[in-house]
Amino acid sequence: MGATTLTFATRSGSQAHDGPVADYPALYIGGQWVAPTDGGTMESIDPATGRVWARVAFGGKGDIDRAVAAARAAFDGEWGRMPPHERAALMRRFADLYRQNVERLAQLETRDSGRALRESRADVGMHHNYYHWFASLADKHHGRTIPMDDSVHAFTSRLPLGVVGAICPWNVPLMSACWKLGPALAAGCTVVLKPAEQTPVTALELGALIEEAGFPAGVVNVVPGYGAGGAGEALAAHSDVNKISFTGEADTARAILKTGADSLKRYTFELGGKSPHILFADADVEQALNAATNSAWTLCGQSCALGSRVLVERPIYDRVVETFASRAAKVRVGMPLDEATHMGPQSSADQLEKTLRYVGFGRDDGAELLAGGKRIERESLAGGYFVEPTVFANATNDMRIAREEIFGPVAALIPFDDEAEAIALANDTAYGLTAGLWTQNVGRAHRVSAKIQAGIVWVNTYRYLRWTTPYGGFKASGWGRENGLEALDSYLDTRTTVVSTAGTFPDAYAS
């Protein structure tokens, strides 16, 4: 199967990205496309070929200073004064533009991250709904009237936090940006968006759509750059940034907290996971297997919600093992722009190396390698970071492949004997992002889901996400929620106003 040849039209000029390297020479700051002052040019590698496919401007501390100043000026200026329904109208215009550009954005996302086009399309094709839904909330963050005695009138007002630093990961760049921009703009905040250094392109494309939608200068600024020592750290440290909304690894969140400690800003942290996917023997096993295999390999394993710990009740264990092995052989790993490809490459050489290292840990710890476990080196994929969908049987929950986030397409199949053991295994993890469970017993569905320590529990489905459903983690999986009303709330502050109806105040020193 050969790669489909596609021609990309980028904002920096129409180029066929199969050949010439795409050029993104400017940052988007204060409504202008500007050269970096203390950054430079970074190369974005196409993970399917290992070759440079784009050259992209990146910013340093000075550029972050400029971007934060522009965001502050917009917050204190036109954007801050704009009536909420007008902000909503701009967001809706942006959402419509986004929708018109879905195919192009999905292709660019695939090119930058290696995600199979069919997955990028399905994901990116949903984002306009998020933007529209958050637009609909822009004039609905009401305060409350607080019952008091007759001498005062007390009420709350919801106020935007101010300037937000949005720091995104490389696995789902457009989704992550969407989950931050939607609620931040609906709340009335302004944003400095820093995409991951591995996938800088689509954030700049978002900047172009923001410009086309007609947002006032500085409402959204886009500064690609590095993390530690670069634009990411500068944003996290900046004293005029009111909130950091970060998606990435737990260790990076810890570093961001230390960096920002002096400024006492707010945080949302969307971090990693090691999600249990529990298959009870009383489940509709065929459906459960469809979900369990897909959720272990989706995004080439580079999903925070990956159902990588598959907990299987013993009576169906052999069937699950056989199906995982046979399904692994059916996964079409290939060039990510090929319409037929199920699974593209890992996003970077580092990530490929990490996945292979963990395959070694699985073997060393005594798990049985049932399928996969190797880099794919056939000629058509040579040069890319392709790995086989991998299955370990007879894994135990104390093995490294069951405890640590691999971020590769590696499933660990772990048997259990009863409900209590399933719950104990599910919760025996540092993480608590997502979980899945399959059972046709409605009592068990409620009983077990109520005991799982995870921010979202899917029953008889998996990875079902919508703009309306709060998403985020317990434990080391993060702080706060993205999506749903909770997300909007996290970009707002509360002011309580107490007005005396009498206007009198007793003299405490009269006697």
The site for ligand NAD (CB under 6 A) is made up of 167-172, 176, 194, 196-197, 226-228, 232-233, 236, 247-249, 252, 255-256, 259, 270-273, 304, 405, 433, 473, 478
Active site residue 270: yes
Question: Please, what is the minimum distance in Å from the beta carbon of residue 487 to ligand NAD?
Answer: 11
Contact status, residue 322 vs residue 95, Cβ threshold 8 Å: no
Closer CB to ligand NAD, residue 321 or residue 402?
402
Question: Please, what is the minimum distance in Å from the beta carbon of residue 196 to ligand NAD?
Answer: 4
Question: Please, what is the minimum distance in Å from the beta carbon of residue 167 to ligand NAD?
Answer: 5
- Taking the C-alpha atoms of residue 38 and residue 167, their distance in angstroms, rounded to an integer, is 19
Question: Please, what is the minimum distance in Å from the beta carbon of residue 235 to ligand NAD?
Answer: 7
Closer CB to ligand NAD, residue 66 or residue 327?
66
Closer CB to ligand NAD, residue 232 or residue 334?
232
Going by C-alpha positions, the residue among 189, 255, 207 that lies closest to residue 57 is 207
- Per-residue 3-state assignment (H helix, E strand, C coil) for 123-156: HHCCHHHHHHHHHHHCCCCCCCEECCCCCEEEEE
Amino acid of residue 119: E
Closer CB to ligand NAD, residue 204 or residue 321?
204
Give strand ranges (E) for 116-242.
145-146, 152-160, 163-167, 190-194, 220-222
Question: Please, what is the minimum distance in Å from the beta carbon of residue 486 to ligand NAD?
Answer: 13
Question: Please, what is the minimum distance in Å from the beta carbon of residue 434 to ligand NAD?
Answer: 9
- Taking the C-alpha atoms of residue 66 and residue 443, their distance in angstroms, rounded to an integer, is 56
Roughly how many angstroms between the first and final C-alpha of the chain, as a whole number? 94
Closer CB to ligand NAD, residue 247 or residue 439?
247
Q: What is the DSSP letter of 281?
A: T
Q: Cα 338–341–347 angle (5° rounding)?
A: 90
Cα 143 from chain centre: 30
- Beta pairing, strands 51-58 & 22-24: parallel
Active site residue 300: no
Closer CB to ligand NAD, residue 171 or residue 323?
171
Amino acid of residue 224: P
- Taking the C-alpha atoms of residue 225 and residue 196, their distance in angstroms, rounded to an integer, is 7
- Among all chains, which residue has been given the structure tokens 């489905």? 461
- Per-residue 3-state assignment (H helix, E strand, C coil) for 444-507: HHHHHHHHCCCCEEEECCCCCCCCCCCECCCHHHEECCECHHHHHHCCEEEEEEEEECCCCCCC
Catalytic residue among 168, 178, 300, 304: 304
Closer CB to ligand NAD, residue 169 or residue 334?
169
Question: Please, what is the minimum distance in Å from the beta carbon of residue 96 to ligand NAD?
Answer: 26
Catalytic residue among 109, 205, 233, 270: 270
Contact status, residue 42 vs residue 194, Cβ threshold 8 Å: no
Query: Which residue(s) pair with 245 in the sheet?
Result: 166, 268
Nearest residue (beta carbon) to ligand NAD: 227
Enumerate the active-site residues: 270, 304
